[in-house]
Amino acid sequence: MRPAERREVTPVSSDVQGRGGTRTSLSTTRTVLELDGLEKSYDATTVIRDLSVSVRDGELLTLLGPSGCGKTTTLRLIAGLERPDGGSVRLDDTAVSGPEFVPAERRDVGVVFQEFALFPHLSARANIAFGIEEWPEAEREARVDELLELVGLADHGKKAPEELSGGQQQRVALARSLAPEPQLLLLDEPFSNLDVDLRVEMREEVREILKEAGVTAVSVTHDQEEAMSISDRVAVMNDGRIEQIGTPEEVFQQPESRFVAGFLGHASFVAGRVKGDCVETGVGCVPLDRIHGLTDDYHGSEVDLMVRPDDVRARPATPGEANGEVVHRRYLGPTVLYRVAIDTGDVVGCMHNHADRVSLDDPVVASLDADHELAWFPHDEQRMADGRSDRGDAL
């Protein structure tokens, strides 16, 4: 985009609070991207199935899912690197797919690839300027200065990529994508090539940079923690479809499917029966007001309550009070993950501080210790044990 064509950035309302600062309001801003009924197949294999989602101005949406779920194909359809077989892609209310297909180079969309793809023979400054070479020199230099300052590399502009750390290279790649002021930025597994500690640091920095720049972005990842930490909303994908979309808190605490529950972290299901004002389970009677959307209208119904390891506590039992036994123990450094087989036949995960002493095969009393509403599902024999999907795959 030429300097004379620069858009005014619409301030986003910040009435939705989340991790790492405020999150974008979804009701007060215009739609930048709209996907409606997207379909994509390769030969006889359907990769994207009736996928619809919209992204608002200034929002950071993450497509999250396992390998092969269709998230990268969706990104390529948005970028114009692939043509959909059905449905539509609209950017700023303009159709860019279908009979009037708009190629990638004309979509005003920036892409940050996981490999960074910096030109090794160019300095950081020249890499950032690469996409705006047609700008007048003074405006181009000012834009590069602005971006170097934004990404915290004002003193590194003359360095070659090989002289920069992995995190610095990523910031240069991000600045290069932001230089032409695209109306939408796509990030393809942007942190996958970084080591664990740098990955955590960089995702916080990238979110701050994108929010400061007022950029609308769609990110793709299979990393649940990454999606939760950087996103305003998360769209969980499975088998070419979006299973659920919502704030990180919503999809984690109130999953709408067993797949979402298991993919977003260790999940256990506890069978119970609604009786009066509570659900009777193997870990005690859980009041209905602690279960999301469950009322006494379901009296007599069998349900499964979803619990996370931090929702359950297990303590050594005195003779005669045990309701379970520790069948698995995994030391994780700061914490220890236990699996407890309770007397009703369910297996639940418990997360304890590393200093707690509960030994394998110990009889224990397992009880709920949740400070939020629990999610529930109709009773189903294919319930997930801790950390396992209903397909039986370990997560």
Q: Which domain holds residue 338?
A: 266-378
* 289-324 pLDDT per residue, tens: 999 999 888 899 999 999 999 999 999 998 889 999
Would you call 385 helix, strand, or coil by DSSP? Answer: coil
Its pTM stands at 0.84
Contact 67, 222 (CB under 8 A): yes
Per-residue pLDDT at 236 exceeds 70: yes
* 159-176 pLDDT per residue, tens: 999 999 988 998 899 999
* 250-300 pLDDT per residue, tens: 999 999 999 999 999 889 999 999 998 999 999 999 999 999 999 888 899
String of DSSP letters for 253-296: HS-SSHHHHHHTS--EEEEEEEETTEEEETTEEEEGGGBTT--G
pLDDT the model gives residue 197: 78
Q: Label the pairing between strands 184-188 and 217-221.
A: parallel
pLDDT the model gives residue 3: 44
Q: How far apart are CA 166 and CA 120, in angstroms?
A: 14
Check which CATH number belongs to the domain holding 188 and give it. 3.40.50.300
- Average pLDDT value for residue range 319-344: 93
Residue type, 63: L
With respect to residue 176, please indicate whether it lies within any of the assigned structural domains: yes
Number of domains in the chain: 2
Question: Of 203, 233, 258, which one is at a domain's C-terminal end?
Answer: 258
Residue 200 and residue 62 share a domain: yes
Chain position carrying tokens 């996958």 = 192
Residue 205 and residue 135 share a domain: yes
With respect to residue 281, please indicate whether it lies within any of the assigned structural domains: yes
With respect to residue 342, please indicate whether it lies within any of the assigned structural domains: yes
Mean pLDDT of the chain: 87
- Average pLDDT value for residue range 63-72: 95
Q: Which range, of 11-20, 147-156, 183-192, averages the lowest pLDDT?
A: 11-20
Question: Of 258, 274, 305, which one is at a domain's C-terminal end?
Answer: 258
Tokens of 347: 């297996």
Cβ neighbours of residue 8 closer than 8 Å, sequence gap 6 or more:
none
pLDDT the model gives residue 226: 92
Instruction: Band the pLDDT of 192: cuts 50, 70, 90.
Output: confident
pLDDT the model gives residue 196: 79
pLDDT the model gives residue 108: 92
Residue 166 and residue 62 share a domain: yes
Instruction: Choose among 89, 83, 90, 80: nearest CA to 47.
Output: 83
Residue 309 and residue 208 share a domain: no
With respect to residue 220, please indicate whether it lies within any of the assigned structural domains: yes
Residue 217 and residue 366 share a domain: no
pLDDT the model gives residue 50: 96
With respect to residue 22, please indicate whether it lies within any of the assigned structural domains: no
Instruction: Band the pLDDT of 383: cuts 50, 70, 90.
Output: low
Residue 207 and residue 72 share a domain: yes
Residue 363 and residue 290 share a domain: yes
Contact 95, 89 (CB under 8 A): yes
Residue 287 and residue 242 share a domain: no
* 99-135 pLDDT per residue, tens: 889 999 999 999 988 778 899 999 999 999 998 999 9
With respect to residue 384, please indicate whether it lies within any of the assigned structural domains: no
Residue 281 and residue 249 share a domain: no
With respect to residue 36, please indicate whether it lies within any of the assigned structural domains: yes
Cα→Cα distances 268→9, 51, 131, 293, 346, Å: 44, 29, 49, 19, 8
Helix (H) or strand (E) holding 49: strand 45-56
Helix (H) or strand (E) holding 301: none
Residue 165 and residue 115 share a domain: yes
Residue 61 and residue 161 share a domain: yes
Check which CATH number belongs to the domain holding 277 and give it. 2.40.50.140
Per-residue pLDDT at 241 exceeds 90: yes
Question: Of 219, 240, 258, which one is at a domain's C-terminal end?
Answer: 258
Q: Which range, of 77-81, 187-191, 372-376, averages the lowest pLDDT?
A: 187-191
With respect to residue 388, please indicate whether it lies within any of the assigned structural domains: no
Residue 293 and residue 150 share a domain: no
